Amino acid sequence: QVQLAESGGGVVQPGRSLRLSCVASGFTFNNYGIHWVRQAPGKGLEWVAVIWYDGTNKIYADSVKGRFTISRDNSKNTVYLEMNSLRAEDTAVYYCARAGVAAAVQVGYFEYWGQGTLVTVSS
């Protein structure tokens, strides 16, 4: 079955960096785009970034553009989210989610989700 597992969350001071990982299994990883979606405590869902199945295209939300970098290693079935210059407003549970359609990342719904990893930005 399809599984996504995030790791790398924790408590970090404002201005510092953190790298999240998302390990996938149960499907042909290099056929699917992978998104990151976050949820601040008690709030709704916010899309963060997406990487194409072959890594050729990456798109970011304005709120993280220039600070966050998404990448993937298809040999390890893993997607990363490098987060720099972290702010208090980046505090959230970060989910990775698989795109719904193989090789069609433009069809932007999220078919499978990981359980999330909590990032807390606080001094």
Partner 1 sequence: EIVMTQSPATMSVSPGEGATVSCRASQSVSSSLAWYQQKPGQAPRLLIYGASTRATGIPARFSGSGSGTEFTLTISSLQSEDFAVYYCQQYDYWPPLTFGGGTKVEIK
Applying CB under 8 A, the residues found at the interface with partner 1 are: 35, 44-47, 50, 59-62, 95, 100, 107-116
Dihedral-angle region of residue 80 (phi above 0 means left; psi in -120 to 50 means alpha; beta otherwise): beta
Q: What is the largest CA-CA distance in the chain?
A: 42
Q: How far is the CB of 1 from partner 1 (least distance, A)?
A: 11
For partner 1, which is the closer residue by CB, 55 or 108? 108
Q: Which is nearer to partner 1, 3 or 17 (CB)?
A: 3
What is the number of other CB atoms lying within 10 angstroms of the CB of residue 17?
11
Provide the CA 60 distance to its chain's centre, in angstroms: 10
Provide, rounded to whole angstroms, the least separation between the CB of residue 16 and partner 1: 25
Looking at the Cβ atoms of 44 and 123, the one nearer to partner 1 is 44
Cβ 34 to partner 1 shortest distance, Å = 13
Instruction: Considering the complex, state which of residue 17 and residue 28 has its C-beta at the smaller distance from partner 1.
Output: 28
Give the nearest distance from C-beta 11 to partner 1 in angstroms: 19
CB–CB of 88/122 below 8 Å? yes
Residue 15: left if φ>0, alpha if ψ -120 to 50, beta else—which one?
left
Query: Which DSSP category does 63 fall into?
Result: T
